[in-house]
Structure 1
Amino acid sequence: MSSIFTKIISGEIPSYKVAEDEKFLAFLDIQPISKGHVLVIPKQEIDYIFSINDDLLGELMAFAKSVANKMDSVFDCKRIGMTVIGLEVPHAHIHLIPINGIADMDFGQAKLSFPPDEMEAIANMIREA
């Protein structure tokens, strides 16, 4: 079930990494709905988040929490919203999104675009937090 995320994990496709350990990776979404929109994934190829065994799912949530805490210290927002949709890429992933209101979580809104140097600056801010 190799996906674009598998290629990001292996380094075949570049990404703007914000956090990584032996089991998980967090990187900026290249089609964000908010500045600082991050994807958190397990490195193990698992399509559906609810197919992840309980221990690994707990670790994934703890990893996502650590990333969200960094994001919260970087962005001027009320919360870091979290959602799992799971239809875009056949690899389990969590969206972490800086938000000020529920409308900020609307995936139907136009996607944002930032130049590569700004994407790298955003990733650096989160990594260094």
Structure 2
Amino acid sequence: MAPQTYAVAHNRDVVHIRQAVRVLAQQCRLSLVDQTKMITAASELARNTLVYGGGGTATTGLVRKAGRQGVAAVFADEGPGIPDVDLAMTDGWTSGGGMGLGLSGTRRLVDEFELVTETGVGTTVTIIKWGR
């Protein structure tokens, strides 16, 4: 199945992205615990894209590497960027608008986490959860 890109412009888009990630996690045969972790991480990042990035896109799909299969999601916006990445990645820090996980909590839920941000340009976060 080819990667799918979704707009992140409304609260309902966050729900659609959660559902898309759930389907992929089931197709990938992630455990129920790993499905929940990936869905939660994707939901938090979709909400961040909407609230802090002013909207953007989410691209989801299955990925393979070294004989393993996983679920990947890339969240991109053209918002203000994150001025202090170290602070944003500090455990327990949240700006108050999301589920309270913050980026550090989201990072702990997945196997791979990459954050690219530039002030005034935007932010892209890529996450992957690998099947066991």
TM-score by length of 1: 0.32
Higher relative contact order (CA 8 A, sep 6+): 1
Say which structure is richer in strand.
2
